[in-house]
Amino acid sequence: MCGIVGYVGNASGRANATHGALDVVLEGLRRLEYRGYDSAGVAVVAEGSISSRKKSGKLSNLLDELEEHPLPGSLTGIGHTRWATHGGPTDRNAHPHLADGGKLAVIHNGIIENFAELKQELLAKGVEFASETDTEVAAALLGDIFRNKLKGGADGGLTKAMQLACQRLEGAFTLLAVHADQPDVVVAARRNSPLVVGLGEGENFLGSDVSGFIDYTRKAVELGQDQIVTITSDSVDITDFFGAPAVGKEYTVDWDPASAEKGGYASFMEKEIHDQPDAVAQTLLGRSDARGHLILDELRIDPQLLKQVDKIIVLACGTAAYAGLVAKYAIENWCRIPTEVELAHEFRYRDPIVNSKTLVVSISQSGETMDTLMAVRYAREQGALTVSICNTNGSTIPRESDAVLYTHAGPEIAVASTKAFLAQITAAYLFGLYLAQLRGNIFTGQIKDVLADLNKIPAKIQKILDSSTELRELARSMKDEKSVLFLGRHVGYPVALEGALKLKEIAYIHAEGFAAGELKHGPIALIEEGQPVFVVVPSPRGRDSLHSKVVSNIQEIRARGARTLVIAEEGDEAVRDYAEHVFYVPETPTLLMPLLTTVPLQLFALELASGKGYDVDQPRNLAKSVTVE
């Protein structure tokens, strides 16, 4: 949540002098729209003063405001898309916030937990506030330190003021500031909230993530916890909150701007659903040698420590938690290690039993999910080993974990996750197989067989996408439905949960996912005439197949008037007599089925929400990365 962009350029020193600060900042904000927001604003430093514009609503509202009230040309600027926390989504609560007589502008991602105490202190000094936000308190504190304690910046400038201010702030925050008295400088601070530096030629950048500056450079610098960075057109200086020098880690972004565009699809979500064959293939690429041994180069943990693990806890939130549920089935099956799946925001508040033989696996697309980050930190404090499954190179959770397994899904722009979910499941399978290989639970030949089956998945996903016309038409015809239920068993259960979540996220209708075995324990009371129910049917193959039990569930709900919409494996003719609609997926081993059965449910949610005329990429009230607890 919240998109942040900062820029300093030098027209005489740039290889490309065709863009000014406003151009860069607005393009960065456009690329960061996927994070979710309800207002937007910019500020530039020009002619010895700060000029700012901000509007509630979409970025287009800000563009209209800028057309009516243009800003002067400038080579220094900051921009922000806000997801409301303190104070509603109004013009006055939008960022930037001004202080020091209008000479200082500040934007902020996160929450200042001690804002009330600081506000009372500043009110006693005669400071007046124009908004309801904690951000304006941080701006006022920074302005007060700059003007009064540092005598207008003479005793250290904006960087020193930021250091002193951050020593007083509590919570999670990224702050960017510009001051009219230092027109060629942007100063930023980071604690428990994402921020990355972009390195250009004669220009430098700041962003919530690399999307904010990917049009201009692929060279980036990771910032560590509790660090402050000062950028000019030709320098990047990093310190800690107390002024001690620090060093960031440079890396190169391995995707280009075109991969973040819609590519001819009506929405990013539709594009990303169609990206899934490639996302799974890329996550599998290069993970094994010629003998069939898994080689996970990023997992740099002493194998002896992994062999001693006697419990695994998977930590995640939302869609990633459902990927974790799939991981539980696979890891316990292959590794024979007890595996729990915890919602990260509940984990550290229940006094969990964690020790040096516990392995904590966190799953986060962005690597910045605050609940998951804080849970990982807690686990490490208790002595647990930590592994991250993540899609974003250089983000906080991988950096603070003992090891990381990166998915390679590419940038995911739509707020509702699709391709990242399948990539997370794929990575979890790889991790489970690797752990089983290390511990000797299964033979190399078995691993080769599973990898061979995994490598067939991309083509099978493509087959589903290519034959989805009937499903799409059904979804469009159901746009006025008020409720849809989802049932599944075994690995079909997390698929049912994910199917319901997708519908809630983008279509805003009641949807619930249930374990099919729970039906008679309460949920069957929801079944009435015409109630649509998706049922994810297990394969009829296998010694311990649950197929017959789920077919019985279908009969039970149909007898009570339900419309039964069935996801089944090709060749399963037994379900036809009990289903109003059957959507087949290619045959594949049971544990791997979620990589296929999820796809029709994604398409259904996409088409139903689109039929209602909703913005599927930026659903109401939601943000791509939840970076506050």
CA-to-CA distance for 241 and 222, rounded, in angstroms? 16
**Which secondary-structure segment (H or E) carries 500?**
helix 492-507
What is the sign, positive or negative, of the torsion defined by CA atoms of 377, 244, 199, 183? positive
Contact 407, 423 (CB under 8 A): yes
Contact 62, 27 (CB under 8 A): no
3-state SS assignment for residue 396: helix
Euclidean distance between the first and final Cα of the chain, in Å? 12
**Which tokens in the block code for residue 353?**
């039993």
**Which tokens in the block code for residue 427?**
């990575």
166 is catalytic: no
Output the CA angle 472-476-480, nearest 5 degrees: 145
Contact 342, 360 (CB under 8 A): no
Q: Is the peptide bond before 540 cis (omega within 30 degrees of 0)?
A: no
Contact 438, 550 (CB under 8 A): no
CA-to-CA distance for 401 and 524, rounded, in angstroms? 43
- Which residue is listed with tokens 């942007």? 186
Contact 593, 492 (CB under 8 A): yes
Contact 269, 606 (CB under 8 A): yes
Helix axes 492-507, 594-611, angle to 10 degrees: 20
**Which secondary-structure segment (H or E) carries 568?**
strand 563-569
Catalytic one of 2, 166, 317, 335: 2
CA-to-CA distance for 23 and 189, rounded, in angstroms? 23
Question: In whole angstroms, how far apart are CA 579 and each of 511, 534, 564?
Answer: 19, 10, 5
For 490-494, the CB contacts below 8 A with 24+ separation are 490/329, 490/538, 490/546, 490/590, 491/326, 491/329, 491/590, 491/591, 491/593, 491/594, 492/516, 492/536, 492/537, 492/538, 492/550, 492/593, 492/594, 492/597, 493/325, 494/322, 494/323, 494/325, 494/326, 494/594
What is the sign, positive or negative, of the torsion defined by CA atoms of 339, 345, 346, 351? positive
- Residue 34: name the closest of 625, 628, 627, 629 by CA: 625
Catalytic one of 54, 219, 460, 624: 624
Helices (H), strands (E): how many in the chain? 19, 24
CA-to-CA distance for 234 and 239, rounded, in angstroms? 17
520 is catalytic: no
**Which secondary-structure segment (H or E) carries 397?**
helix 396-400
- Residue 340: name the closest of 493, 354, 400 by CA: 354
Catalytic residue numbers, as ranges: 2, 624
